[in-house]
Structure 1
Amino acid sequence: MTRTAGQDDEEKSARQRLRERRTAARRQAGRVLSRDGALGTLRDRLTLLHEAAPQVYDLDEQADLYGDGVVAALEERVAALLGTEAAAFFPTGTMAQQVALRCWAGRTGNPTVALHAMSHPEVWERGAFTAVSGLRPVQVTREPRLPTAEEVRGFEEPFGSLMLELPLRDAGHVLPTWEELTEVVEAARERDAVVHFDGARLWETTHHFGRSLSEIAELADSVYVSFYKSLAGFGGAALAGPKTLVDEARTWRHRYGGAVFQQFPTALSALIGLERELPRLPDYVAHAHVVAAALREGFAAAGPAWARVHPEVPHTHEFQVWLPYDADVLAEAATRQAERTGTMLFVGAWAQGGPGLSRTEVTVGAAGLEWTADDVRRATADFVDLVREVVSG
């Protein structure tokens, strides 16, 4: 039967109402596994700066102009953490990575960038590598894991750079083992390619690898890190690597429009994140193991017959949950749980992964450390009951 324009409009309106209810429920929920500061009010964000900024930087210093002052201090802090010669602040990670790989293309003489089909530039950046920077991305694999050394060695054409997203977010925030990662890097070196880490969430990986940030970054020729992913900053990113590369990247940053007049709020929020959140990330990862196990147990006890937590043991403090229902059904159940009980087990959006199959991302943050395994199992049982209620109408 052909749908009418009126039916389509009504469906859009219903989804919009659900989004608004879900947003309100998330803000009002007393218990969540993580609380995203970016979704707070302007007052909340300004309060953070007012209270925490004096603890991380001398506020009697002159405000920054075009990257000096507090921005330069942030760059030095990142370079020290990652063990690189230098680092440059960028307003966005998209710009930072384009500049990094453009610089490497000029040095290697090869604009081809080997990457994963599910990597951020391929999925979320509208072909920016090619459209803006003249790069040519080629996909090493589509498997829901990082590329293997064998795939890198056996790839059928030359490439100048290999980009590895650590963790690979869209595959479930997955990581290779340390041995697998070192083998992949060695395979790229054998092909005379440079290695760039898309480390937007690199901060989260130390627990899984059992290595420091500097040991992880040392494997790559350059590394990008984000300040709002994992660290709860206002935005911004950094490109770290050899001083000659970073100096060249600053020139391209200017050409790309990234030489912003003043960036002190973002830089201060990044320093706050490095001070407050970075030391706690291993605790979040460890507790994510507890939460994931309790979710599996809760779904096994309460149904549905098919449910998946992926990875079963999370590699970071973020992971996926897959359930055999449409996304709208699960979003409605999550919203009702928050509205009725003050607990919101799943605060993230649900994405349709196929007919009658949806997934969401779970992040375990400071708020999640208060949850016991029993808390998670009880909340899972309540959520399943609400899913059945929504389905039954």
Structure 2
Amino acid sequence: MDVNENDDPAAAVAGPSVQERRFAALRGCERLLSGTRPQNLRERLAALTAEAEQAHDLDRRPDFYGDGVVRALEERVAALLGAADAAFFPTGTMAQQIAMRIWADRRGERNVALHPLSHPERHERRAYATLGGLHSVWPTTEPRIPTPEEIRGFDESYAVLTLELPLREAGFVLPTWDELTATVSAEDAPVHFDGARLWESTFHLGHSLPEIAALADSVYVSFYKTLGGVSGAALTGDREFVRTAKAWRHRYGGQLFQQWPAALSALAGLDRELPRLESYVTHAKVVAAALAEALAAVPGARVFPEPPHTHQFQVWLPYPARALDEAGLRLAEESGLGLFGGWRDSALPGLAMTEVTVAGPALEWTAKDVTAGVEALLALL
């Protein structure tokens, strides 16, 4: 699902030529284990046109400054999460900043509680600090959400506690439902969920989207990561929160004249992917177990977490990222097997990590197929 090159450090470092080579190689593969088949612009437009027919009445006028299809999307998301209202945003980075800023302004407090591995800290150039004048504090540095004891014992004040569900950089890990509710119950400040991948978290947590969202005072969801939309995000909360969020959206430059392509693709993604997510999450456990078994004899190799909490997880191998990228591209080009996406080097020399996304194309892979694919990759190394 994650096809955004900005989220692929290996591709960003390697440069456009490797991006184009990967695009062509994966697009030409007969079978893909991780992610979805890349589409060129013509294919993407054709797919959007076909799917949009079912997603929205195309005989209606386009949106203007957030009405029309954009408003229909906001209402759909609010209903899915059991929220009073929702606000569409062109990017999650903008939505996250504004959510934290609203809570900071309401409480007269410039500190916000984050995880050091969270998206605002790692992938947004700390925009909340540079543009919003906010400061982060960390109730925990462990690769998980903070415990009730850590919340109660923390000696810093803050305006809002942001919890990323799942915590991507830690391996797309989720708490249990009891752990999540205990942490939220221990918190006196407002709670904001960074739910970019909340859609697929319901199965591990064992509760519905409205039940999960009800634990937080505001929730952010993404339309392109899991749902395969063009772009965009939404914030949900009470009506006053959403009204304020829309005012700040305008100030931040997010009140675009027309955003109907992104809104249509988001509606189509909700229709297409939400019913499939359980099959992805279920099959991810099969794929992860097969990968772990196939890599058991490789010193330092690891699949994490096992079993996965969602349909995404990490694979670690004791090779440089550049060597793994080259071997993966050769496997795709020569054998038509697309096993993984881009790799990135870790702090430990010679150890690299990639993220696996089990989506539609992976459903046809058996455990035996996964083993054969890994053996073919290792042979190229």
Deviations 1:197-247 (A, max 9, x none): 000110110110111100000000000000001000000000000001001
Partner of 2:163: 164
Select the residue among 215, 226, 246 that pairs with 2:222. 226
Identical pairs, percent: 60
**Pairing 1:22–2:15 present:** no
Paired residues for 1:360-371 under 5 Å? 360-371=354-365
Structure 1 residues 100 and 15 mapped into 2: Cα distance closer, same or farther (>3 Å)?
Answer: closer
Partner of 2:82: 83
Select the residue among 291, 309, 313 that pairs with 1:315. 309
CA contact (8 A) 1:304 1:384 kept: no
Deviations 1:172-216 (A, max 9, x none): 101011111011111113xxx000000011011011011110000
Deviations 1:266-287 (A, max 9, x none): 0000000000001111110000
Instruction: Name the SS of the counterpart of 2:352 in structure 1.
Output: strand
Q: Aligned letter for 2:331?
A: Q
Deviations 1:61-83 (A, max 9, x none): 11110000100000000000000
Paired residues for 1:1-393 under 5 Å? 18-36=18-36, 39-189=38-188, 193-300=189-296, 303-346=297-340, 348-353=341-346, 354-387=348-381
CA contact (8 A) 1:22 1:331 kept: no
d(CA) in 2 for partners of 1:104, 1:70: 28
CA contact (8 A) 2:34 2:339 kept: no
Deviation of 1:324 after TM superposition, in Å, equals 0.8
Deviations 1:146-169 (A, max 9, x none): 222221211111111000000101
Structure 1 residues 312 and 161 mapped into 2: Cα distance closer, same or farther (>3 Å)?
Answer: same
Instruction: Name the SS of the counterpart of 2:21 in structure 1.
Output: helix
Deviation of 1:332 after TM superposition, in Å, equals 1.3
| Aligned CA-pair RMSD | 1.6
Deviations 1:124-151 (A, max 9, x none): 1112111101211112222222222221
Answer with 145-154 or 118-127: which moved more.
145-154
d(CA) in 2 for partners of 1:13, 1:138: 30
d(CA) in 2 for partners of 1:230, 1:49: 16
Deviation of 1:25 after TM superposition, in Å, equals 1.4
CA contact (8 A) 1:76 1:87 kept: yes
Structure 1 residues 17 and 279 mapped into 2: Cα distance closer, same or farther (>3 Å)?
Answer: same
Deviation of 1:35 after TM superposition, in Å, equals 4.1
Deviation of 1:101 after TM superposition, in Å, equals 1.2
Q: Normalised by the size of structure 1, how large is the TM-score?
A: 0.91
How many residues in Structure 1 have an aligned counterpart in Structure 2? 369
Structure 1 residues 351 and 187 mapped into 2: Cα distance closer, same or farther (>3 Å)?
Answer: same
Q: Aligned letter for 1:289?
A: K
Deviation of 1:306 after TM superposition, in Å, equals 2.6
Gaps of 5+ in 2: 1-11
Structure 1 residues 157 and 20 mapped into 2: Cα distance closer, same or farther (>3 Å)?
Answer: same
Deviation of 1:13 after TM superposition, in Å, equals 11
Q: Normalised by the size of structure 2, how large is the TM-score?
A: 0.94
d(CA) in 2 for partners of 1:57, 1:17: 38
d(CA) in 1 for partners of 2:180, 2:93: 23
d(CA) in 1 for partners of 2:265, 2:29: 25
Partner of 2:8: none
Structure 1 consecutive aligned stretches of length 4 or more whose deviation exceeds 2 Å: 12-24, 34-37
Q: Aligned letter for 2:302?
A: R
Q: Greater Rg, structure 1 or structure 2? A: 1
Gaps of 5+ in 1: 1-11, 388-393
CA contact (8 A) 1:66 1:260 kept: yes
d(CA) in 2 for partners of 1:381, 1:96: 43
CA contact (8 A) 2:35 2:356 kept: no
